[in-house]
Amino acid sequence: MNRESQGNTIQLILDGQNFFHELRNQLEAVRLSPVADNTYVRLAFWEAEHNLNLQSPTAGPTLETALKWVANVGHRVEIILWKPSALSRRFDPTLSVPVYNTNLATMNTLHGYNNNLIQVYFEEYKGWIAGISTHQKIAIFSIGGVFRVLIGGINLARFYWDSDTHPCAAPYAPHAGMDGNSCHDAAVLIRGPATLDVEREWLRRWNKQYYLTPRNQIKGNIANNPISANGATVNVVTTNSESWAGREADIQALLIRKISRATNYIYLENYAFCDPGLVWAICKRLREHRTLKVIVMIPHRHFELHPFNYLARIAYAKLALTNCITFSSNGNQIFRRDCQTYKISENLNIWSTSESILSTVRNRWLESDSVSFRRRIDRNTTTVRLSDITSFDGGIRFYTPARRIGGALHWIYIHSKLALIDDETAFIGTSNFSYRSMVYDGEIGICISNGQTVRNIRNTLFAHWGLNVADVRTNWDREVRRFQVGVGNGLGVVNLNITDLDRYPFPVAAGGAIRNDDTNRQYKYLNYTYY
């Protein structure tokens, strides 16, 4: 789906505390409203803990209590929760089994409450690859048909509780008892006609309950959610592979189209950055506009996000090789200007969305991706694997956020899914910038096209990281260096070298062997689901 509307009002929401407070406030607004057919709550989440506290990490009404308060006065609450498939639970138990148990407990606690005023649909995603997920996070609040909608990366789970100052300490930090790290995420509160497009996607999913007779579904209308004269143009876009007749890869297509027009900067902030389509688009634009500033913010290696750290390393190499001055591998420094030939080779295919289902099954972990070059002094062409490159001079850099406390850096876990392009486009949604999220998982995103709105988002976000960046191309690296050499406490950003990312897709076993051979059933499953 890619549906465009004009005249929308957008409010950026950063981090769990602000998100959960907004969720609580919107639920309370519905509870205090007169009972009517067009007053209701509709939720759809990848994960939802019924005992999640909404006031603070350890106190206040829980999600269960707040939803039951809404139902107790006569309002309808309808919830969609992801049901991990049996295949997911078997081959990916570390992730899928806990989410399955959490969502099942929430369904058992809420479904049927107060004469079915609360209904829960435990939805298994019927995509064309077994075991994938519906990763959307949608919250719709209708009061007399007037909508407020929340879209973003935050699940309804205690892991995401964090203040926007990222104190890296209890009670906010999800790992406070271990390493004291924080969790960063982003969402938007939307008003206007785009909310109707979000509800359209929610209803598509809800009405998959063909084995039931869904009650007559009230829908929003434009009369109650009119265009605002000074509002933003918004595209509501999705990824969806539930139709065998064709896939929706509209998030990827829209981002590639916006990237192809970038002239000033591209800022990406994501849990995972490795989608070959996005990497290819940025490389192409860098060749066309060599002064284009590209900033990629990802989690630090500290969080051991296998295999995404490895995939980010390959993406980093492809982007940096596009406009670097030199690169080093196996102890040798290669100057680009000395090369007569210079070519990046990719393994098997470029993973375009036109590939068949077999493209995912036959993939390997890009071990053969390489750069081939021949210097003027060489007789033969040399080929170097991208994973063997150890440094760059010039070219783009990846970055990660941190908080300095008493001279020590505490890494901040990035879970956000956000892109800014040229102070003209902002994307915030549920999709990681990975092949899985771009091509076959169930995702939703909001693409905002309005200069003032995007500048406000950029200014808020950069201020959040403690950066005073008037011009992204000229000020960004200066502000990053200032934080890295500073001694004061507070939030900031540090740059990553390619050696800060994993050289192999999975942890290395004794003797240096990579634990990803084709005889490993779990590896073969993860081979196409982790992307």
| Burial bucket for residue 313 (CB in 10 Å: 0-12, 13-18, 19+) | buried
431 assigned to some structural domain: no
What are residue 456's phi and psi, to 5 degrees? -65, -40
Instruction: Note whether residue 342 is domain-resident.
Output: no
Give 419's DSSP letter. Answer: E
Please state, as a whole number, how many other Cβ atoms lie within 10 Å of the Cβ of residue 208.
17
Q: Is residue 128 part of a domain?
A: yes
Flag whether 516 is in a domain. no
CATH number (domain holding residue 167) = 3.30.870.10
Cβ contact 136:171 at 8 Å: no
In a domain, 150, yes or no: yes
Residue 432 lies in a domain: no
Query: Widest CA span of the chain, in angstroms?
Result: 82
Q: What is the pLDDT along the chain (531 residues), one digit of tens a residue?
A: 999 999 999 999 999 999 999 999 999 999 999 999 999 999 999 999 999 999 999 898 999 999 999 999 999 999 999 999 888 888 778 889 999 999 999 999 999 999 999 999 999 998 877 668 899 999 999 999 999 999 999 999 999 999 999 998 888 887 766 667 899 999 999 999 999 999 999 999 999 887 665 556 788 999 999 999 889 999 999 999 898 777 889 999 999 999 999 999 999 999 999 888 899 999 999 999 989 999 999 999 988 887 888 889 999 999 999 999 999 998 899 998 999 888 888 764 444 444 444 444 444 557 778 999 999 988 899 999 998 999 999 889 999 999 998 888 999 999 999 999 999 999 999 999 998 899 889 999 999 999 999 999 999 999 999 998 989 998 999 999 999 888 778 999 999 999 999 887 776 665 555 554 444 444 544 544 445
Q: Which residue segment(s) compose the domain that 213 sits in? A: 2-232
Q: Report the number of distinct structural domains present in the chain.
A: 1
CA dist., res. 249 & res. 441, Å (int): 10
Q: Is the alpha carbon torsion for 518, 521, 523, 528 positive or negative?
A: positive
Does 199 fall in a domain? yes
Residue 374 lies in a domain: no
In sequence order, what are the beta bridge partners of 492?
A: 402
Number of C-beta neighbours around residue 115 at 10 A: 8
pTM above 0.85, yes or no: yes
CA distance 445 to 436: 15
